A and B are shown apart, each in its own frame.
Chain A
Amino acid sequence: MQNKQYSVKVFETTISNEQKFMDFFDNNYTLFKDHLIVIQGELSQTIQDYLEEKNLKYLENVVLPKGRTRKALEEELNAEKVSAAVSQQIVETELERLSTQLQNNLTVLDEMIRSGRELNIEGDLLLLNRVNSGATIITSGNLIITKVVEGSIRCHGNFMMLTASPKANIVFHDVEVDNTLLEDRLNRVELKNNEIIITPVLKKEINWAL
């Protein structure tokens, strides 16, 4: 591919009076003979013939890239900077919101919670083992348990992920969750607009702790 770049002088005009236009060009021919003439609006046959006769290059009804003044350029740059800063701020606050929602002091445990044990977790808990009948787990954050729960759980976080646990006693934000609604391998229980919403996430068995 071969490219050439030119800077061309453009004379842009709209014709309202054909005679006046032709007079203007007759008088200033030497000044405009190397210009590209751009006619915006209607272009009559007379003018076309006139321009061709004078051997002037012309275009009609085109949108030209406009030059800008220095002040306008600076303003534009400034506006760009502001919008970038604003979007950065939005992303940061969003991330912060998500991180407080998803992970605060995550505790990971892979031990069986036997009967009689009471776990009081400040923050989130990921538990990779069973919760036996008679055990209690209380979390201030989110709770994910990958195996069957037969004990009781009290969760005060934004969401819980639980497997189908027909014998469990589940309390989410002081509301007892009907555990027959937890039907699949993994279910998400979350609070949205003061409503507890249960969504099945996973139907099949997966192996978490390899």
Chain B
Amino acid sequence: MGIVIAVISGKGGVGKTTATANLGLGIAMNDKKCVVVDFDIGQRNLDMILGLENRVVYDMVQVMDGEATTKQALIKSKANENLHFLAASQTKDKSVLDSEKVEKLIAELKESFDFVILDAPAGIESGYEHTIEFADAAIVVVNPEVSSIRDADRAIGILDSKSAKVKKGEEVAKYLIINRIVADMVESGEMLKSDDILEILNIKILGKVPEDKGVIDASNQGKPVILDKKSIAGQAYARIAGRLCGQKVDMKNIEISDTGLFKKLAGMFR
């Protein structure tokens, strides 16, 4: 019986889909069976980031409507055989989802995978509510900026009131990923510190991901950045995936800029 994790953010463009793809692949690299499901119906991008866009035959909506079986619709990743992908429909819109169908689909996926990761749409409309309704845990992705944090706060508030688990009196575990941290800007006070973000959102930290130019290129090529061992963002995602798989990985402080010998020397002559 697997665990269902919804990746949410509230605001768009903070790196939800990138995080979903990388964590899915990271979990798979830890020898766990993982499926990533794109819940952003009508605006699917997870297939492109995973490099599986030309392999999509059936989508999630067709599975829910009984037009295809789950097995037919699941796509195995090229990068790791433990990772599977279920695409969103690009032609339909979010109104096609309904609670019963979503519950049935998630229950089915939970049977055969260790991790079911749901990529939530941006915003807090019905599509978002269906994504979080049957999740056991949520990963909240934020950027260190006020608008992202307020939207995430709102998304957590809705999670706490609409989740089926909360309605049963249990609690949904919530974890935070702070994405696109620029150490120099945190040091100079231009960017919010992670401690401040944690105080506002009051949830547990799962990991911090530094800003990395390689992410865009990796997404465009359909090769998640976690595959690039040299990438600092990739390393950060690998650490987070390790934590999700139960390993004890220390939190790396990425909020202080690299002060190597060369940089120190350069500073002397400035």
Contact = CB atoms under 8 A, between A and B. Distances in A.
Interface residues of B, number: 14
A130 B202 contact: yes
Nearest to B199: A130
B256 interface: no
B154 A116 contact: yes
A136 interface: no
Contacts of A188: none
Contact of A134 (B150, B158, B202): B150
Question: In the complex, which range does the number of interface residues on chain A fall in?
Answer: 10 to 19
B195 to A, nearest CB: 14
Contacts of A116: 124, 153-154, 157-158
B185 interface: no
B1 interface: no
Nearest to B147: A133
Nearest to A112: B202
A132 interface: yes
B25 to A, nearest CB: 31
Contact of B150 (A112, A117, A130, A133): A133
A115 B154 contact: yes
B141 interface: no
Interface string B100-137: 00000000000000000000000010000000000000
B156 A114 contact: yes
A108 to B, nearest CB: 19
Interface string A53-77: 0000000000000000000000000
Q: Secondary structure of the A side of the interface? A: loop
A114 B149 CA distance: 11
B200 A130 contact: yes
B158 A132 contact: no
A164 to B, nearest CB: 15
A150 B192 CA distance: 15
B79 interface: no
Contacts of A115: 150-151, 153-154, 157
Nearest to B124: A116
B192 to A, nearest CB: 12
B146 interface: yes
Contacts of B156: 114
Given A114-B153, A114-B157, A133 B146 contact: yes
A15 to B, nearest CB: 92
CB-based closest 3 A-B pairs: A114-B157, A115-B153, A116-B154
Interface of B: 124, 146, 149-151, 153-154, 156-158, 160, 199-200, 202
20 contacts: A112-B202, A114-B153, A114-B154, A114-B156, A114-B157, A114-B160, A115-B151, A116-B124, A116-B153, A116-B154, A132-B150, A132-B153, A133-B146, A133-B149, A133-B150, A133-B153, A133-B200, A134-B153, A134-B154, A150-B200
Given A116-B154, A116-B158, A134-B153, 8 more contacts: A112-B202, A114-B154, A115-B153, A115-B154, A132-B153, A133-B146, A134-B150, A150-B200
